[in-house]
Structure 1
Amino acid sequence: MHGVVLASKKRVDVREFPDPYPGPNEVVIETKASALCRSDLSTYHGESVLEEKDEKKEEVIILGHEPCGIVKEIGPNVKDLEEGERVAVYLAIGCSHCKYCRSGYFMLCPKRKCIGDDVHGGNADLLLVPAENCLKIPEGMSFVEGALSTDKVGTLYHAVKRLGISGRDKVAIFGVGPMGSVGALIAKAFGAVVYVVDSVESRLYLMNKLGIDQQIDASQYDPVKVIQDLTKGEGVDVAIDCSGNPIAENNALNSVKKLGRVAFIGESKKLVIDPSNQLI
């Protein structure tokens, strides 16, 4: 099979690899779509915000942690999947035994591995994964939509659910790239009044066309002041940062009302906050 690897900074290669074969509780997926994440682009440019692992990889890893495709081959003990079924693939592989895995939080497993980083990912003809990482998708969903549903949509949907967002809330979302724009749409679907903040005009235009309540251009206005004016000095109920920018993260903290809720989705290396004034 063929797979895409990061050969060096700003260079990817297509290389040949042996076809995978499933072991117990594993399946082989014939990849039909594999989405790009902003973290992929950071790695490509040599600007990854994630800490480098101490151990050196003995093999080159195929990229791609947002794949979708068709079950091609099933290993022993797999009971809930059949060959030919259409599935999206969840990126985190856990031990399946710890308290986090048993509660569905594979990404918190102390032994967690990530497809496309620790093991071969979805930017290839074939992908070997545990059967429990496969999410069946309906016939009406395209493979591209299935790939986007795992990390981008899944992350923000879970955040909105964890934050308890509803029609009672005003929500500010900082950074409306792929993640933030999905978060805005999900929060709006849950009934919230949604304000979005970005400095890219095309993103704000799209949010307006999709019916988001208020678009704030951070290159022209102080978003904290605008949000305070919109909420009559109270602040929003929920603030979500999807940019990973320390300025935006602080703006999120400064925009939320007392007893409000804040979530940081965007990855960043370092952040300085003022706990006494922003949190207490």
Structure 2
Amino acid sequence: MLAAKLPCKETIKVVEEPIPVPKKGEVLIRMKASALCRSDLHRYHGVALFDEDDKEANITPGHEPCGIVEELGEGVTKVKKGDRVAIYLGLGCGTCPDCLRGDIMLCPEFRCIGFAVNGAHADYMTIPEENCLLLPEGMDFITGALATDVGGTLYTACKKIELNGTKTVVIIGCGPMGSGGILMAKGFGARVIAVDTDEERLQTALDLGADYIINPCSTDGPARVRELTQGRGADAAIVTAGGDIPLNSALNSIRTKGQVALIAESNRAVIDPSNQFVRTLAELKGCWYFNRGDWEEISDFIVNHEIDMKKISSHTFSIAEAEKAFPLFDSGKTQKVVFVWE
């Protein structure tokens, strides 16, 4: 089979290797779609994101996959050959309180496919059967792949900040995650104000359904948000761009008792706690991936609300073209890049 590897910094190689054999409790997945993620680029640039020993160049990246169950390992009972599945990216201990309630990403022993073990940028992969997420009827493979990291994370964020048809939300950062946020927020019925410094991404935001766009390079973002909300500020904000400026923009754009969902990765930020929290009663909520038990709710929401996740996929490649796909995605000039198998 073909698999993409990261033998050294900013280098991708596609190699031939044996099809893996599922161990006890595992299944073999024949890949149908596998999306590139910004996290993949941390390995591409030689930076580990999950505190893993990332020196093993033989680990196949990829943690947003979708495919078909091809073979069952010993003891597998929850899925069957031929099932169409997306893959939950987290591997946990299985016994801690976080794992037991489905929040695998919070497990003290959390490991991520594509970082700690072989991931999905390959023709086949093996995975524990409990990581298989059955696709509903009507969901294609590309949508299934995008419904995990992007769809699941942004659906969870929209729920955490209690979006509905009466709410206005500011989405700061209109890359793939922010674009997914626009789709999800509109599915919840909210009015969306999209903020980005890139005019092409702002045009994409409009195409995805954003009601208003703001470029903070030419406009005072929080002031414009207040103009659009009769001086009150937005009910909520979703931050998908990293750094001080986007986070502060979100906190300064929301009304009193507003809520901010923070998705963007960042090591530190300087804020004004007294004026942005204490005297506003604002809430800042961390949002990282989704509870495994919520998959049916998430996938049904996407299907029933006819949310076209494929609108945020700007390019598709075969796995044999991985050497082209990684640098293109790294350029920042794309939305989601997805490997597909016919």
- TM-score category of the 2 structures, normalised to the smaller one: over 0.9
* 1:6 matched residue in structure 2: 6
Alignment partners' CA distance in 2, 1:139 and 1:16: 33
One-letter amino acid matched to 2:7: A
Does the Cα contact within 8 Å between 2:85 and 2:133 map onto a contact in 1? Answer: yes
Does residue 25 in structure 1 map to residue 25 in structure 2? Answer: yes
Q: CA deviation at 1:139?
A: 4.4
* 1:219 matched residue in structure 2: 217
* 2:157 matched residue in structure 1: 159
Q: Give the alignment's Cα RMSD to 1 decimal.
A: 1.8
Q: CA deviation at 1:90?
A: 1.1
* 2:307 matched residue in structure 1: none
Q: Aligned residues: percent identity?
A: 49
Does the Cα contact within 8 Å between 1:49 and 1:267 map onto a contact in 2? Answer: no
Does residue 112 in structure 1 map to residue 110 in structure 2? Answer: yes
Does the Cα contact within 8 Å between 1:167 and 1:192 map onto a contact in 2? Answer: yes
Residue 42 to residue 201, structure 1, CA distance change in 2 (3 Å): farther
SS, match of residue 60 in structure 2: coil
* 2:329 matched residue in structure 1: none
Does the Cα contact within 8 Å between 2:154 and 2:180 map onto a contact in 1? Answer: yes
Moved more, 206-215 or 150-159: 206-215
Moved more, 170-179 or 132-141: 132-141
- Give the alignment partner of residue 172 of structure 1, picking from 166, 170, 173: 170
- Give the alignment partner of residue 233 of structure 2, picking from 232, 235, 244: 235
Cα deviation 1:33-84 (Å, max 9, x = unaligned): 11001222343234x483644x465562100011111101111222121111
Alignment partners' CA distance in 1, 2:45 and 2:225: 34
Structure (1 or 2) with the greater helix fraction: 2
SS, match of residue 168 in structure 1: coil
Aligned length: 278
SS, match of residue 270 in structure 1: coil
TM-score, scaled relative to structure 2: 0.77
Q: CA deviation at 1:133?
A: 0.8
Q: CA deviation at 1:142?
A: 2.1
Q: CA deviation at 1:130?
A: 1.0
* 1:182 matched residue in structure 2: 180
Does residue 36 in structure 1 map to residue 36 in structure 2? Answer: yes
Q: CA deviation at 1:154?
A: 0.8
Alignment partners' CA distance in 2, 1:162 and 1:277: 23
TM-score, scaled relative to structure 1: 0.93
SS, match of residue 21 in structure 2: coil
For structure 2, which runs of at least 5 residues remain unmatched after alignment? 279-342
Does residue 269 in structure 1 map to residue 277 in structure 2? Answer: no
Does the Cα contact within 8 Å between 1:244 and 1:264 map onto a contact in 2? Answer: no
Greater relative contact order (CA < 8 Å, ≥ 6 in sequence): 2
SS, match of residue 19 in structure 1: coil
Alignment partners' CA distance in 2, 1:49 and 1:237: 35
Residue 150 to residue 9, structure 1, CA distance change in 2 (3 Å): same
Cα deviation 1:74-126 (Å, max 9, x = unaligned): 11222121111111111111122111111111101111110000110001111
Alignment partners' CA distance in 1, 2:216 and 2:39: 23
Equivalences for 1:124-203 in 2 at 5 Å? 124-203=122-201
Does the Cα contact within 8 Å between 2:8 and 2:57 map onto a contact in 1? Answer: no
* 2:49 matched residue in structure 1: 50
Moved more, 11-20 or 264-273: 11-20
Which stretches of structure 1, 4 residues or more, deviate above 4 A after TM superposition?
Answer: 55-59
Residue 49 to residue 171, structure 1, CA distance change in 2 (3 Å): farther
Residue 105 to residue 187, structure 1, CA distance change in 2 (3 Å): same
One-letter amino acid matched to 1:92: G
* 1:65 matched residue in structure 2: 63
- Give the alignment partner of residue 259 of structure 1, picking from 249, 253, 257: 257
